[in-house]
Structure 1
């Protein structure tokens, strides 16, 4: 009798567990390999080092291989998700919004919470501290270095917030150029290729200048090493939501939730790899939703309309 009870209990347990196990096995059969795509915020080597560690962690947690793909530009991540070739995407807020606006079925999962407890950042315009430019108005007819058409801080936010000050980027500046990455925009400014550069800014101690200075990348055209003190901020936007990690909605719900949970658990399960994503400047990942990016969608709609008029 006792043996029959034990066998019956085991059979019930197996029966309850097997649908879940079978479902997990089914998505692993469909997704034996998952691609993580990342926008080129920094140079390819640094981006590979950071997000390669994230791919390693997710491989371990999900039990399927996660392969990193560094995109040549922001649009490549959007199109990679549209084609179904990138299942997990590291977007900027504007590139995520652009993906949604153009019909990509993608869902934001998490964003980083920084050590100062913020879950966002700002767009700024830098000039060299030894230049005569003190205010944005001083840059009329000058050259502005932007990042990428789909960059938030490096293109869309400056256009949107400067317009509120009566400045239309395409007619106010003598020339605008896209540098391709945040680092390249700063390098163009430091080497005198542009008079000002748009970029991302988290805090006085955490911004593109401080990161590049730490890596020894801030140099002028003659190779002289510069410091953040050699630059000046002459424009700062309103607060912007952080860059999300997003997944394709077509993936099974349990797989999407497994990815979200793995990301939320990462600071505790693999702090070394988590810290590598931000040089230790982030404390955790927190959940986000599509609603958090509605203001960015409206920003892009405004910019699109302004360029057509």
Structure 2
């Protein structure tokens, strides 16, 4: 190679390096955002998720910023618009964001979710068909327990019923207990965790199929090597007592790799538009 050609090549590489390096540095300094579904008070979510965000920041070598929201509707708007790099959401909310942005599920917990419909033990209602025209108490319109139980009632049993939004699992149980609602719909795990002493007062008349729990997912714009690093980092937390405590706090117990088709394609069968139209009476 002549001195002239070698000099030209060196100059070209120097220019390329000089123009590319700042973009790489800017990308790394910008970091990533982690949006968490507002299923608990913000102060609780901040306490539970900050150790995870800090841990991922160290593992990736860039800042992972925790993003919290005061309303589920805001969270849904942000994630459906693709404004979050990483996201932790209920399965149904993940699916809504997947529809718009094709978020990639990375990791989920191993404890499966199952909805249930229950009545008072002394209730005359013994099967789902008996609830035709009656009021069923649920936590809220967007909660996963609401979506999967109403989907089962409307598609599998094809009954017409009224809904009332109670705001929490324990309020659903109280509504049924005092007769404000003929039945209640919750996750079976939520009832065990939030109102264990009240379970003996009820009789379960329907259970949904089990579905995988909330995924930790990434927007497809995130490079695969970064997605893989996050997946490995979260799975590695399960190898130590301290790590398992961090995972338990954010309900990623016994984490496994997540897969859209296997875990969440079920929601393609859910008529979300019909559920949204079902207003409390």
CA distance in 2, matches of 1:189, 1:38: 31
Q: Residues 244 and 68 of structure 1: is their aligned pair in 2 closer, same or farther, counting only changes over 3 Å?
A: same
CA contact (8 A) 2:106 2:259 kept: yes
CA contact (8 A) 2:169 2:195 kept: no
Equivalences for residues 51-90 of structure 1 within 5 A:
51-90=49-88
Q: Residues 88 and 148 of structure 1: is their aligned pair in 2 closer, same or farther, counting only changes over 3 Å?
A: farther
Tell me the CA shift for residue 43 of structure 1.
Answer: 4.7
Tell me the CA shift for residue 303 of structure 1.
Answer: 5.1
CA contact (8 A) 1:78 1:104 kept: no
More strand by proportion, 1 or 2? 1
CA contact (8 A) 2:49 2:66 kept: yes
CA distance in 2, matches of 1:22, 1:191: 65
Equivalences for residues 59-208 of structure 1 within 5 A:
59-101=57-99, 103-114=100-111, 120-155=112-147, 157-168=148-159, 172-173=160-161, 175-180=162-167, 182=169, 185-186=172-173, 188-189=175-176, 193-201=180-188, 207-208=189-190
The aligned counterpart of 2:216 is 245
Q: Residues 130 and 71 of structure 1: is their aligned pair in 2 closer, same or farther, counting only changes over 3 Å?
A: farther
Q: Deviations over 1:202-223 (max 9, x none)?
A: xxxxx11221147xxxxxxxxx
The aligned counterpart of 2:13 is none
The aligned counterpart of 1:30 is 30
The structure having more radius of gyration, on CA atoms, is 2
CA distance in 1, matches of 2:69, 2:55: 20
CA contact (8 A) 2:106 2:216 kept: yes
CA distance in 2, matches of 1:253, 1:261: 12
Tell me the CA shift for residue 41 of structure 1.
Answer: 3.4
Alignment TM-score, normalising by the size of structure 2: 0.74
Q: Deviations over 1:59-84 (max 9, x none)?
A: 34333333333434444333222444
Which ranges of structure 1 fall in alignment gaps of 5 or more residues? Answer: 1-20, 115-119, 202-206, 215-225
Taking only aligned residues, the RMSD between alpha carbons, in angstroms, comes to: 3.3
CA contact (8 A) 1:74 1:148 kept: no
Question: In terms of mean alpha carbon deviation, does 231-240 or 48-57 score higher?
Answer: 48-57
Q: Residues 298 and 81 of structure 1: is their aligned pair in 2 closer, same or farther, counting only changes over 3 Å?
A: closer
DSSP-derived class of the 2:110 partner = strand
CA distance in 2, matches of 1:228, 1:69: 35
Tell me the CA shift for residue 275 of structure 1.
Answer: 2.7
CA distance in 2, matches of 1:52, 1:289: 25
Paired residue total:
255
Tell me the CA shift for residue 27 of structure 1.
Answer: 4.0
The aligned counterpart of 2:249 is 276
Alignment TM-score, normalising by the size of structure 1: 0.69
Tell me the CA shift for residue 293 of structure 1.
Answer: 4.4
The aligned counterpart of 1:256 is 227
CA contact (8 A) 2:115 2:187 kept: yes
